[in-house]
Structure 1
Amino acid sequence: METFSSEKSIISLGSWLETPAGNYVRDWEHARLDELTADIFGFNATQIGLPQIQALRANRMPHKWLTDTLIPASGYDNVAKPLVVVQDFEELPFASNSIDLIVLPHVLEFAKEPHQVLREVERVLIPEGQVIISGFNPFSLWGARQIAGRLSESYFLPQEGEFISLSRLKDWLKLLNMEVSGGHLGCYAPPCETEKCLKRFSFMEKAGDQWWPYLGAVYVVQAIKRVKGMRLIGLAWKAQKAAAPQGVPATNKIHR
């Protein structure tokens, strides 16, 4: 596997997704992403990073591809989409207002400049284009386990990640005129490392949705790029100013 940039930290997340806990997260995200992307229409869609999650498999756009910072040496057939190799995610090789849908699976929390990644996403999205972002929730059992791991140097999740809260992410999107339109929280089981332990707590998935929905370990957020309407203020304003005031009797207009 040949890398082309400093975006190496997300590679550790790709390896982590092969663990029992990683499979648990991947299965949950696949179900949520399939649900969100199935009815998004357009022409061009791209997934940025992390090919271990097939974020666009349920989408029906004619042009779909993966944008990544590395070339897989083998096994790329499982990704089942064309590949666009970039130096980093802070500079995307797409024209402005050209992409209908962008999916960012865990990219922001492993990027050096997450703000710049979002700015690039906003730039290349068409007006009313959509972005879907997944990430780990720091205010969860998994987030608490990760904080404890920093103290003991025994990490549950890849240590390079800077997990972003939902409220913080929504603030970033709002600053870019991106309106949150939907989302999900899930993976309520404790941070177990074995499949047996995760299955033992499978009942918490439904209970979490009902009783503590904001404590899910993983979130998926969907947002739409809004473009404010333009107003003509040049010649149209001058013409309106030169027109006679409304409500003036016709006789007065003739006299003037």
Structure 2
Amino acid sequence: MTELETWYSSTNGRYLLGLLEREIAASLDTAFGYHLAQVGATRCHPLFGGSPVRHRIYVSSRAGESVSLVANADELPLATDSVDVLIAHHSLEFSDNPHQALREMHRVLTPQGHLFVIGFNPWSLKGVNIALRARAGGSPWRGRRSLSTWRLSDWLNLLGLEEEEARQCYTVPPFGGRRIRAVVERCNAWCARHRLPAGGVYIVHAMKQVPGSTRPAQRARRARLIDLAVPKPVSAPRPAPTPRRGDNAA
């Protein structure tokens, strides 16, 4: 949504993007695989810069400079069990059918695949502000409701996604002059470091659990994503067999 993109272009929006990049970087660093997808409500805010996964696609409902695949979150044109790491950036709360969108993300994830859900926390200062603006008809919050971590956890469990970790940041939106903003930023850093559950934005990390499955990095597979297949490992040539005595006899 252009309104959400405009907000992320503001001073507070850029500050939040920096927080999200730092918070998610450590988890992405240990999430390996062949393919990564970010499904976003915006078109220009990739958060996968710290990922070791080489093939990355940015999915959005509208075309944009960073978008490599135009699709809705609740109808992903990706093969089943094909994505190793998936980042959902506000894509659930800005979807008309968030539960179906989560089902689609579960479908395209590989067994033991990583899912990172980023959303606004309704039980925070930012969440209260969003609720008030939504009641007043303010865009982009009009007609939208933030998804709480409790409700999200229930949905994850129903789908067989095991929650690994939940982080929160952006407890106090920065305001005022340079000195006041510096104090607020130190406060936000302290709250994030001590994992206080009052952050304006959460990052929930979950993994797709399938009985009898193994981690993608520990097995060879031929998963497909769009038109790209995982290359098969090249086997070393076998030595020629030694001829037995009498094989070349006339």
User: Above 0.5 in TM-score?
Assistant: yes
Could you list the runs of 5+ residues in structure 2 that have no partner in the other structure? 214-250
> Within the alignment, does 1:93 sit opposite 2:71 as a pair?
no
- Which range moves more in the overlay, 204-213 or 49-58? 204-213
Contact 1:30/1:53, CA 8 A, preserved across alignment: no
Q: Secondary structure at the match of 2:33?
A: coil
Residue by residue over 1:66-100, the C-alpha shift from the partner in whole angstroms, topping out at 9 and shown as x without a partner, is 1122222xxx2xx4xx70122x2211111111111
Which of 24, 37, 42 is the equivalent residue of 2:33?
A: 42
Q: CA RMSD, aligned part only?
A: 2.5
Matches within 5 A, 1:1-256: 10-49=1-40, 50-72=42-64, 76=65, 79=66, 83-86=68-71, 88-151=72-135, 153=136, 158-190=141-173, 192=175, 198-209=181-192, 213-229=196-212
Q: Residues of 2 paired with 1:215 and 1:45: CA distance?
A: 29
Residues of 2 paired with 1:60 and 1:211: CA distance? 27
For 2:209 and 2:165, the matched residues in 1 are separated by: 15
- Alignment CA distance shift 1:156-1:187 (3 Å): farther
Q: How many residues align?
A: 212
Per-residue CA deviation, residues 161-180 of structure 1 (Å, 9 max, x unaligned), is 32111111111101000001
C-alpha distance in 2 between matches for 1:21 and 1:204: 15
Contact map agreement 1:145 1:191 (CA 8 A) in 2: no
Q: Distance in 2 between matches of 1:195 and 1:156?
A: 28
Q: How far apart are the structure 2 equivalents of 1:134 and 1:22?
A: 14
What is the distance in 2 between the residues matched to 1:125 and 1:156? Answer: 32
| 2:132 aligned partner, one-letter code | A
1:212 Cα shift? 7.3
1:32/1:206 CA distance change after superposition, 3 Å: closer
Q: Which piece of structure 1 moves more, 171-180 or 191-200?
A: 191-200
Structure 1 segments unaligned to the other structure (5+ residues)? 1-9, 231-256
| Residue 6 (structure 1) aligns with | none
| 1:147 shift after superposition | 2.8
- Residue-by-residue CA offset, 1:20-63 (whole Å, 9 max, x unaligned): 12112111111112222122111011111224322211112231
CA 1:212/1:92 → structure 2, altered by over 3 Å: closer, same or farther?
A: closer
Structure with greater proportional helix content:
1
Deviation at 1:215?
Answer: 0.6
Cα displacement (A) at 1:19 = 1.0
With over 3 angstroms needed to count, the CA separation of the structure-2 counterparts of 1:178 and 1:195, relative to structure 1, is farther
> Amino acid of the residue matched to residue 127 of structure 1?
P
Aligned partners of 1:210 and 1:33: how far apart in 2? 14
How far did 1:155 drift? 5.0
Shift of residue 197 of structure 1? 5.1
Higher mean Cα deviation, 44-53 or 120-129?
Answer: 44-53
| Structure of higher CA gyration radius | 1
Task: Write the distance in 2 (CA, Å) between the matches of 1:213 and 1:83.
Answer: 36
Whole-angstrom distance in 2 between the partners of 1:90 and 1:170: 19
